[in-house]
């Protein structure tokens, strides 16, 4: 174990023998840090927090601080749970859950870039990329393999579907269905074809997802009526996932319209 002499570590913290802890790090008494982790200078692990194996916590990151919620009380015990093989860069902030027994969660192999913020009770699945200065309010859910562009912001309680990709500077207070591209303010402008190809989804499935998107968001019928009609036909699991996500939305989903000078998302290379 390599611990810089200026680090302040509670004697009740549970640390694996092979971690590295940099200068001026603070690790509280309820922290659990797994094997192979690196905690860089000036980072803080506060409250009840569990780090899995092989995580990097960047300079000045603050993980496990109390939530920014007027309803939260200091005597409430909640936590942050982080999986394995994550890169958490400089000045990332992750707040713990706001209600007793709840948690803010990050999965495995995620990349949280400089300055992004996860509010209380956020849940981030595996293989997610959250780029610089993204802001996720409380209870946001992010699906597997999603990519959130720099400076984008997300209202509390919204869901971001699997393999969605969001442009930098966008803002959303509506759900973002899986496999879609999002931009501006609650706008969907197509399917994340590049991302789908990269994760190995075949051309026939990509075409069907695109057809499902067009039926729901580009057709003339109301969304729920379009989904009900679509269910009369057979679809691949990914298209059904898309329909189920939209149908189950409590806040409503972002909308779609053509954007001038956009790349035609309906074309395959």
Does 122 share its domain with 228? no
| pLDDT value at residue 220 | 84
pLDDT at 214 over 90: yes
CATH of the domain at 51: 2.160.10.10
Does 111 share its domain with 28? yes
pLDDT at 131 over 90: yes
Closest to 116 in 3D by CA, of 145, 142, 98: 142
Q: What is the mean pLDDT of the chain?
A: 94
Does 149 share its domain with 73? yes
| pLDDT value at residue 258 | 53
* Torsional class of 261: left (φ above 0), alpha (ψ -120 to 50), beta (otherwise): left
Does 12 share its domain with 138? yes
**pLDDT tens digits, residue range 216-239?**
998 888 899 999 999 999 999 999
Query: Residue 16, Cα to own-chain centre: how many angstroms?
Result: 27
Distance in angstroms (rounded) separating the CA atoms of residues 161 and 62 = 27
Does 109 share its domain with 203? no
Name the domain count of the chain. 2
**pLDDT tens digits, residue range 14-25?**
999 999 999 999
pLDDT at 210 over 70: yes
Does 138 share its domain with 72? yes
**pLDDT tens digits, residue range 61-112?**
999 999 999 989 988 999 999 999 999 999 999 999 999 999 999 999 999 9
- Report CA Rg, the chain: 20
Between strands 135-136 and 123-124, the pairing is: unpaired
| Residue 247, domain extent | 196-256
- Percentage of the chain surpassing pLDDT 90? 91
- Percentage of the chain surpassing pLDDT 70? 95
Does 55 share its domain with 141? yes
* The pair of three-digit structure tokens given for residue 1, joined into one six-digit string: 């174990």
pLDDT at 261 over 90: no
pLDDT at 241 over 70: yes
| pLDDT value at residue 268 | 45
Q: What proportions of the chain, in percent to the nearest 5, are helix, strand and coil? A: 15, 30, 55
126 located within any domain: yes
3-class secondary-structure state, position 116: coil
Number of residues assigned to the chain: 269
pLDDT band at 260 (very low <50, low <70, confident <90, very high): very low
Does 117 share its domain with 47? yes
* The pair of three-digit structure tokens given for residue 111, joined into one six-digit string: 């990349």
Does 86 share its domain with 213? no
**pLDDT tens digits, residue range 38-67?**
999 999 999 999 999 999 999 999 999 999
40 located within any domain: yes
CATH of the domain at 236: 1.20.1180.10
Does 144 share its domain with 11? yes
Does 99 share its domain with 229? no
| pLDDT value at residue 15 | 97
pLDDT at 262 over 80: no
Closest to 63 in 3D by CA, of 20, 106, 24: 106
pLDDT at 266 over 70: no
Distance in angstroms (rounded) separating the CA atoms of residues 152 and 188 = 14
266 located within any domain: no
Angle (deg, nearest 10), helices 237-247 and 203-213: 20
pTM confidence score:
0.93
């Amino acid at each position: 174990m390599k611990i810089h002499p200026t680090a302040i570590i509670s004697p009740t913290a549970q640390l694996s023998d092979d971690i590295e802890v940099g200068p001026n790090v603070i690790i509280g008494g309820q922290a659990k840090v797994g094997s192979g982790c690196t905690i860089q200078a000036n980072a803080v692990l506060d409250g009840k927090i569990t780090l899995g194996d092989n995580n990097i916590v960047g300079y000045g990151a603050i993980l496990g601080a109390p939530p920014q919620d007027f309803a939260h009380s200091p005597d409430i015990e909640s936590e942050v749970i982080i999986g394995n093989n994550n890169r958490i860069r400089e000045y990332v902030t992750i707040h713990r859950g706001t209600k007793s027994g709840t948690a803010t969660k990050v999965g495995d192999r995620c990349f949280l870039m400089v300055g992004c913020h996860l509010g209380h009770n956020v849940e981030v699945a595996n293989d997610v990329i959250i780029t610089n200065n993204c802001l996720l309010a409380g209870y946001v859910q992010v699906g597997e393999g999603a990519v959130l562009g720099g400076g984008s912001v997300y209202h509390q309680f919204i869901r971001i579907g699997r393999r969605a990709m969001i442009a930098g500077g966008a803002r959303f207070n509506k759900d973002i269905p899986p496999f879609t591209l999002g931009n501006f303010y609650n706008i969907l402008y197509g399917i994340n074809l590049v991302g789908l190809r990269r994760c190995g989804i075949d051309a026939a499935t990509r075409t069907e997802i695109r057809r499902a998107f067009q039926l729901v968001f580009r057709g003339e019928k109301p969304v729920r009526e379009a989904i009900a009609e679509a269910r009369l036909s057979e679809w691949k699991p990914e298209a059904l996932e898309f329909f189920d996500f939209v149908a189950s939305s409590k806040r409503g989903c972002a909308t779609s319209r053509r954007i001038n000078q956009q790349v035609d998302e309906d074309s395959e290379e």
